[in-house]
Amino acid sequence: MEIEDLITPAHVVARLKATSKKQVLQELAKRAAELTGLHERAVFDVLLERERLGTTGVGNGIAIPHGKLPEMKTLFGLFARLEESVDFDSIDEQPVDLIFLLLAPEGAGADHLKALARVSRLLRDRGVCEKLRGTDQPEALYALLTDSTASNAA
Q: Give min distance, CB of 69 to other proteins, in A.
A: 12
How many residues bind other proteins (CB under 8 A)? The answer is 33
Of 78, 70, 66, 74, residue with least CA distance to 33: 78
What spatial distance separates the first Cα and last Cα of the chain, rounded to whole Å? 12
Q: Which of 112, 122, 132, 144 binds other proteins (CB under 8 A)?
A: 112
Helix spans in the chain (H): 21-36, 40-53, 109-124, 126-133, 138-152
CA 30/CA 27 separation, integer angstroms: 5
- The Cα diameter of the chain in Å comes to 37
Binding of other proteins by 150 (CB under 8 A): no
Judged by beta carbon, residue 64 or residue 144, the one nearer other proteins is 64
Residue 112 among the catalytic residues:
no
Q: Which amino acid is at 60?
A: N
Q: Is 61 in the site for other proteins (CB under 8 A)?
A: yes
Which residue ranges make up the site for other proteins (CB under 8 A)? 50, 53-56, 58-62, 64, 67-68, 84-85, 87, 89-95, 97, 108-110, 112-113, 116-117, 120, 124
Residues annotated as catalytic (active site), given as ranges: 66
